[in-house]
A and B are shown apart, each in its own frame.
Chain A
Amino acid sequence: MFKKLLILLFFIIPQCLFSQAQFVKDTLFTNGDSVVVSATRSERKLSNSTVPVTLINAQTIQQTGSIRLTDILKEQTGITMTSGFGAGVQLQGLNPDYTIILINGEPLVGRTAGVLDLNRIALGNIKKIEIVKGPSSSLYGSEAMAGVINIITDATSKIPLEASLRMGTYNTKDIILNNGLRSKSVFYQGFYNYYATDGYSIRPNSNNRITTPINRLSTSQQIKFNINDRTSILLNARLTDETIKSNITVSNGGVTINSNGNEHNTDANLNATLNYHFTPNLKTSFRSYLTNYISKQDLLTISGAPYNDLLNHLFKRIENQTDWTLRKNLNGIFGIGAVWEGVKSSRYDSDKLRKENTIQYGFTQWEWIPTNKLIIIGGIRFDKNASYASAWSPKLSMLYKLNASHKIRLSIGQGFKAPDFRQLYLDFTNAAAGNYSVFGSAQAQKVIGQLNSLGQIGGLYNNYYLLKALQPESSTGIHLSWEWTPTNKTFISTQLFRNDITNLIEVQQVGTYISGAQIFSYLNIGRAFTQGAEWEFKQNINNQLVLSGGYQYLITGDKDQIAEIKAGTVYTRNASNISTRLTMSDYIGLPNVSKHKAQLKINYSNDKGLFANFRIMYRSKWAVNNTNGNQVYDNGDDFAKSYYSLHSSMGKEFTNGIAVQIGADNINNYIDAIHLPNLAGRTYFINLKYQIKYKH
């Protein structure tokens, strides 16, 4: 069927109209002059950015055979993919909740338990991905605490038509159609993607598929009008619609319940931007954005009882940003905006009622270039929230070019994460596991008060009286980096970072029912830190061969736990299960964080369109479960084993626009079904692509 479609496409394409494809020679150093926007909310050359930015271009995405955002992120230094509620991203040891995901500068919404499933994002029309780590990076507001991942598409693509078909293990199909139209003043890019997989079962003797069958349709439409020299309008629309067949096994108290049904997720984004240049030195842009994420689970348990779960997150934003170049060496940015968001969920008191929040914000940022060796950027953002306390996010960063081959970057800043709707409004009683309840902090006192007047409350803990309006979680980060390019073929960078997080929102018991069942709510109580170092290098061995790699060393900790351990009130068990006092040397820190992570890649590409690469990723062990009877993670707990995985891909682009690529992932067939459910065993793929390019 799909092959037929592809063949059909080949025939209907009037090949003769267009010239032959031009090869873009990929050298890793083309990044040197690339323009990035995420670090400073304005276009800057990567080499002049005051904070380190990881830039992934379309060629890298293609040559590694990446089709979803998760595929390419997991190959970056210092980034770990998490599993559970989809594939989330862990930056510098911080959970997925703390990284904001942007598409063309606009945030994606629709998180489950704080995780935004990055499998939702198809890469077939991506121009580049920018990653900025640390809170000192940006002025993006809530969630930009661990970092920012900005996915950038391009309306002015030079490709009028591109079609590709990929087939892989587990009956995985990925079909992409990209089309572009351009005139002098109008640019259009359309993207269509169909993805389907049967899922896979990597548990021996089990029919329980880890990744369940998925059907996913994505489209993105982008139009840019250059109305005149001063004015342009950009319209973006994006839609992802997925159906996941669910066969869920829930174990509670040893009771296993099987449920069957579908999960249906829709993610829609609409964005209109008006850009206007008053003068070459003064420009402004108005952005409006609407996004809606709807997730529905319709399951039937084995006993016939329905299980329905609904999440509907609507987010609207308007923003104005003005860029003003005062003098050649001084320019400023001013922005104001307003957000309205609302969430309906069956886990709140009523899924008919939308819980709402409004945010008004303003930010400014100044860039000063006192000498040609030094760039200093300072900025601040203020977010005024209706439903929880307001937040300031200041930042200061600088770049010092010691000489042609040494650059030093230093940045300090604060980021925050607003309490999410779940932490404010959850109203959930788990009938399947002892009837414990979790109430969002915004209404816990009211709900528990009502229960109390009905005589259902057995006792209230001190935490109940401490409940108050939640503060945003806040992080202060400091990053120091040194970039060294000893020759034009070698690049080495070293980064040191430390993030201190306060006001972490944690679930705490606030009381009990008469029956003894627990009642929980959310309080700002935690304090934690993450710190470490990152090294990255690239070496052009010759014109065709590039070796690159990276390593991250990371340590994390919960400051309150450390204080308790030092006070001698934390216990663990020795090999014969006898309790002993825990010492700091056995303390691990935060769970799901690996101390060491490394990757090494070798890329070959020649001017005849042939390319091949070989990549190896390593991740050291990480703590997953508290199994030795204390509430902290230590050496006696349950760990996921360290592992490495090998990946390779090769392909050829022919001059007539046809490209063929084959690849294999997880060649060493590493499987850990419990801790790495997203890592299938060894898989293969073949990709065929046909591309037409305009004459220049």
Chain B
Amino acid sequence: MKKQLLKISFVVFSSLQIVACTKSETMTIPVVTVSTKVVKDLIADTVLGLTSSGMPYSAGKYTFYSLENNAIVPSTDSASAKWDLAFMSTRILTNGGTSGTALGGAFIYSGLFDDLKTISADSIFKTDNAPTYAITTGSGKGWYTYDQLTSLITPLAGRVLVIRTASGKFAKLEITSYYKGGVTLPVSASDVEKLTKQRYYNFRYTYQSNGSKVF
């Protein structure tokens, strides 16, 4: 742990702060200030309508997002390192492997967002290798569950997406809701409402711009 902190202290740049240290300690402990950002209602290929036979249809397009800039990236930049994550319905791409040209990767951590203070050294980041993805798709396997009876998608509690960004830096991300306004619909909501108010990502994330694995 100490070794790791030491190593980190070399790569920490602007946000580095020195705090008081006791005489007994011979090294300075860097405390990194990172802020947690909240993203609301990021659309991810929302349903545009229903066909005459009742099938939902959408544009079939990803929404590209930069964690570094906390902003949507135009899809014309999809072949660049400008985006970190791309969202389309329940699928989330990282910018690497079969999905992109950059250094992106991810893994899913079981535990609380606030408890994840350091990405442990032995963590293995996966990269996208379609049809399998670093952020596993499928109910109960990655970040959400899908209930066939209620047709509702619920983010799994206690799951943190640990992201390696396009530029090789790190972020942690917790999805809080898949529905518009951040409120999971009641079971009794109509099928149409369940279709049209889903695919709105609400999440919070912490981006570590200094390249360290400490949040």
B56 within 8 A of A: yes
List of A residues within 8 angstroms of B194 by Cβ: 254
With A255-B56, A577-B177, A577-B182: A629-B156 Cβ-Cβ less than 8 Å: yes
* A-B interface contact total, Cβ < 8 Å: 96
With A516-B137, A627-B152: A579-B187 Cβ-Cβ less than 8 Å: no
Q: How far is the CA of A393 from the CA of B50 in the complex (A)?
A: 56
- Shortest distance between the CB of A153 and any CB in chain B (Å): 38
- Shortest distance between the CB of B101 and any CB in chain A (Å): 24
- Shortest distance between the CB of A126 and any CB in chain B (Å): 35
Partner of A254, one of B110, B154, B174, B195: B195
List of B residues within 8 angstroms of A578 by Cβ: 113, 174, 176, 204
A630 and B152: CB pair below 8 A?
A: no
List of B residues within 8 angstroms of A302 by Cβ: 53-54
Q: How far is the CA of A192 from the CA of B144 in the complex (A)?
A: 53
Partner of A257, one of B54, B195, B204: B54
List of B residues within 8 angstroms of A581 by Cβ: 112, 158
Closest A residue, CB atoms, query B137? A516
A570 within 8 A of B: yes
Partner of B131, one of A253, A303, A515, A579: A515
List of B residues within 8 angstroms of A544 by Cβ: none
Convert B105-127 into 0s and 1s, putting 1 for each residue whose CB lies closer than 8 angstroms to a CB of A. 00000101100000000000000
Central interface residue in B56, B157, B158, B195, by most chain A CB within 10 Å: B157
Q: How far is the CA of A245 from the CA of B145 in the complex (A)?
A: 34
A571 and B112: CB pair below 8 A?
A: yes
B148 within 8 A of A: yes
With A303-B53, A628-B154, A629-B155: A254-B131 Cβ-Cβ less than 8 Å: no
B54 and A255: CB pair below 8 A?
A: yes
Q: How far is the CA of A618 from the CA of B149 in the complex (A)?
A: 26
Interface range on chain B (Cβ under 8 Å from partner) = 35 or more
- Shortest distance between the CB of B167 and any CB in chain A (Å): 27
B33 within 8 A of A: no
Q: How far is the CA of A495 from the CA of B141 in the complex (A)?
A: 44
Convert A364-400 into 0s and 1s, putting 1 for each residue whose CB lies closer than 8 angstroms to a CB of B. 0000000000000000000000000000000000000
Closest A residue, CB atoms, query B183? A577
List of A residues within 8 angstroms of B4 by Cβ: none
Q: How far is the CA of A257 from the CA of B191 in the complex (A)?
A: 12
B70 within 8 A of A: no
Q: How far is the CA of A302 from the CA of B52 in the complex (A)?
A: 12
B17 within 8 A of A: no
Partner of A579, one of B54, B113, B138, B202: B113
Closest B residue, CB atoms, query A624? B187
B157 and A516: CB pair below 8 A?
A: no
Q: How far is the CA of A573 from the CA of B184 in the complex (A)?
A: 12
List of B residues within 8 angstroms of A256 by Cβ: 54, 191
A649 within 8 A of B: no
A625 and B150: CB pair below 8 A?
A: yes
B15 within 8 A of A: no
Q: How far is the CA of A572 from the CA of B204 in the complex (A)?
A: 16
List of B residues within 8 angstroms of A303 by Cβ: 53
Q: How many residues of A contact B (CB 8 A)?
A: 35
List of B residues within 8 angstroms of A255 by Cβ: 54-56
A674 and B187: CB pair below 8 A?
A: yes
A629 and B157: CB pair below 8 A?
A: yes
A577 and B158: CB pair below 8 A?
A: no
Q: How far is the CA of A579 from the CA of B137 in the complex (A)?
A: 20
Q: How far is the CA of A254 from the CA of B195 in the complex (A)?
A: 6
- Shortest distance between the CB of B129 and any CB in chain A (Å): 12
A569 within 8 A of B: yes
List of B residues within 8 angstroms of A572 by Cβ: 157
Q: In residues 166-202 of chain B, which contact A (Cβ within 8 Å)? A: 174, 176-177, 182, 184, 186-188, 191, 194-195, 198, 202
List of A residues within 8 angstroms of B152 by Cβ: 625, 627
A349 within 8 A of B: no
Q: How far is the CA of A239 from the CA of B149 in the complex (A)?
A: 34
Q: How far is the CA of A171 from the CA of B146 in the complex (A)?
A: 39
Partner of B202, one of A251, A577, A628: A577
List of B residues within 8 angstroms of A628 by Cβ: 154, 157
List of A residues within 8 angstroms of B53 by Cβ: 302-303
Convert A510-533 into 0s and 1s, putting 1 for each residue whose CB lies closer than 8 angstroms to a CB of B. 000001101000000000000000
List of B residues within 8 angstroms of A579 by Cβ: 112-113, 157-159, 174
Closest B residue, CB atoms, query A253? B151
Q: How far is the CA of A631 from the CA of B147 in the complex (A)?
A: 11
A252 within 8 A of B: yes
A585 within 8 A of B: no
A569 and B110: CB pair below 8 A?
A: yes
Partner of A625, one of B54, B131, B132, B147: B147
Q: In residues 595-634 of chain A, which contact B (Cβ within 8 Å)? A: 624-631
Q: How far is the CA of A175 from the CA of B110 in the complex (A)?
A: 61
- Shortest distance between the CB of A338 and any CB in chain B (Å): 40
Partner of B157, one of A254, A515, A573: A573
A580 and B112: CB pair below 8 A?
A: yes
Closest B residue, CB atoms, query A573? B157
- Shortest distance between the CB of A614 and any CB in chain B (Å): 32
A627 and B113: CB pair below 8 A?
A: no
With A302-B53, A579-B158, A579-B174: A638-B186 Cβ-Cβ less than 8 Å: yes
Q: How far is the CA of A256 from the CA of B191 in the complex (A)?
A: 8
List of B residues within 8 angstroms of A570 by Cβ: 158
Convert A672-694 into 0s and 1s, putting 1 for each residue whose CB lies closer than 8 angstroms to a CB of B. 00100000000000000000000
Closest B residue, CB atoms, query A577? B176
A447 within 8 A of B: no
With A251-B151, A638-B187, A674-B188: A630-B54 Cβ-Cβ less than 8 Å: no
8 further interface pairs, Cβ-Cβ under 8 Å (given A302-B53, A626-B147, A631-B145): A253-B146, A255-B56, A579-B112, A579-B174, A627-B187, A629-B144, A629-B145, A629-B158
30 contacts between A and B (CB under 8 A): A251-B151, A252-B148, A254-B47, A254-B191, A254-B198, A256-B54, A516-B132, A516-B137, A571-B158, A576-B176, A577-B177, A578-B113, A578-B174, A578-B204, A579-B157, A579-B174, A580-B112, A582-B157, A624-B187, A625-B147, A625-B149, A625-B150, A626-B147, A627-B184, A627-B187, A630-B156, A631-B145, A638-B150, A638-B186, A674-B188
Closest 6 CB pairs of A and B: A571-B158, A571-B157, A577-B176, A629-B157, A579-B157, A629-B154
